[in-house]
């Protein structure tokens, strides 16, 4: 079956007891057992739940994996991956990352005993150069948050594997509709399911997808042992989001391309970061390894901070808010929001300027969105 059909059907067969065509919410903490050591596949919801199982099977299918794991947040999913490592292990990560990922690396896991180095996202050779005997993971986002840089995933996977490490790809921005990193050599996919997978800004969730059986068992042990699992209702909300993922993502992508092109021509915008634009230095690579470019991009203002505040205050459709990937259009100011945990020096080193805005384009009428942005930009 093709993607759109699998998004609606895989892991979501009609309920055998009632015939309900939508997976039920099994809102229970525990399950009756038929005897000591005899159960019907479930014992305790932290260890497994039928609604969560449906979501995990659906996620694995869409990412071309064998095993899916659902978590209470994207951060919980990332922590589970890092908890398969041991003090003294080394991680090479792309330097352009979500601020919460950097915070987790540097303020939680470095004191815990892991070591981190950062490579230029666009340069597979830099990843290879940063590898050590102790390197166990290579970690990238592509496209990156917030500068929409693109990693050559096949080349980075080759560098990781040559050094005996596994490649982790955060596929949140692209989603499995537009990019399937396991098909390009990645070993582990992580998602913030809060974003496009859920798609309606009403749930917090995370996910991991893998192909390797032993890696899955290791991650599942961490999932159960640490307990960072989603509630059944949250799993149901993400499942609902997956059913419309393809149609939503195509509309996000279409709207974002149009607005990026409009803003690129505006005199008050210094630069637009969007891989669909001919001006993006990795446009050809993005087109080769992705089937769409997504609904999020960033812009750099030609003015100062006061001009940004004035622009934001004049918006009527776009909302100033954290997060991205919902049906509504949002704007974020990374230096004080998504990447506010970084020092000014850290942001500057990663190219996050004080004039940067991240735009998550929703699925409203694109003309309303264009008029809102241009009206707020007018003098």
Contact assessment for residue 245 and residue 281, using Cβ atoms and an 8 Å cutoff: no
Contact assessment for residue 216 and residue 210, using Cβ atoms and an 8 Å cutoff: yes
Helix (H) or strand (E) holding 237: helix 232-243
Reduced to 3 states (helix: H, G, I; strand: E, B; else coil), residue 115 is: strand
- A 10 A CB-CB count for 267 gives 7
Instruction: Give the active site residues.
Output: 46, 98, 170, 195
Of the candidates 329, 326, 308, 307, the residue with the CA atom closest to the CA atom of residue 317 = 329
Of the candidates 64, 67, 71, 22, the residue with the CA atom closest to the CA atom of residue 229 = 71
Residue 116 backbone phi and psi in degrees, to 5: -130, 140
Sequence-distant contacts of 59-63: CB under 8 A, at least 24 apart: 59/191, 59/197, 59/207, 59/209, 59/242, 60/209, 61/6, 61/10, 61/11, 62/3, 62/6, 62/7, 62/10, 62/176, 62/177, 62/242, 62/245, 63/171, 63/176, 63/180, 63/181, 63/182, 63/189, 63/209
């Amino acid at each position: 079956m093709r993607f759109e059909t699998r998004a609606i059907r895989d892991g979501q067969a009609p309920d055998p007891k009632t015939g309900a065509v939508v997976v039920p919410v099994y809102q229970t903490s525990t399950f009756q057992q038929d005897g000591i050591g005899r159960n019907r596949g479930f014992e305790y919801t932290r260890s497994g739940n039928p609604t969560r199982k449906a979501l995990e099977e659906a996620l694995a299918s869409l990412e071309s994996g064998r095993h899916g794991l659902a978590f209470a947040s994207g951060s919980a999913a990332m922590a589970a991956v890092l908890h398969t490592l041991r003090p003294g292990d080394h991680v090479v990560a792309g330097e352009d990352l979500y601020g919460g990922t950097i915070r987790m690396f540097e303020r939680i896991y470095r004191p815990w005993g892991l070591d981190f180095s950062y490579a230029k996202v666009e340069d597979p050779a830099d990843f290879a150069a940063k590898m050590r005997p102790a390197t166990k993971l290579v970690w990238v986002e592509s496209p990156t948050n917030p500068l929409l840089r693109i990693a050559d995933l096949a080349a980075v996977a080759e560098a990781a594997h040559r050094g005996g490490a596994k490649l982790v790809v955060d596929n949140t921005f692209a989603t499995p509709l537009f990019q399937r990193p396991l098909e390009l050599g990645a070993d582990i996919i992580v998602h913030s399911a809060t974003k496009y997978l859920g798609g309606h800004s009403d749930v917090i969730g995370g996910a991991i997808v893998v192909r390797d059986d032993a890696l899955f068992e290791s991650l599942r042990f961490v999932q159960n042992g640490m307990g960072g699992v989603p509630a059944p209702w949250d799993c149901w909300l993400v499942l609902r989001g997956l059913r419309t993922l393809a149609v939503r993502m195509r509309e996000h992508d279409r709207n974002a391309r149009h607005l990026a092109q409009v803003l690129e021509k505006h005199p008050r915008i210094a630069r637009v970061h969007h891989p669909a634009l001919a001006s993006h230095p990795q446009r050809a690579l993005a087109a080769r390894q992705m089937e769409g470019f997504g609904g999020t991009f960033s812009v750099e203002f030609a003015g100062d901070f006061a001009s940004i505040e004035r622009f934001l205050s004049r918006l009527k459709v776009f909302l100033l808010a954290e997060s991205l990937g919902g049906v509504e259009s949002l704007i974020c100011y990374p230096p004080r929001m998504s990447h506010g945990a970084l020092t000014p020096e850290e942001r500057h080193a990663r190219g996050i300027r004080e004039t940067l805005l991240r735009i998550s384009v929703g699925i409203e009428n694109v003309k309303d969105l264009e008029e809102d942005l241009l009206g707020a930009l007018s003098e």
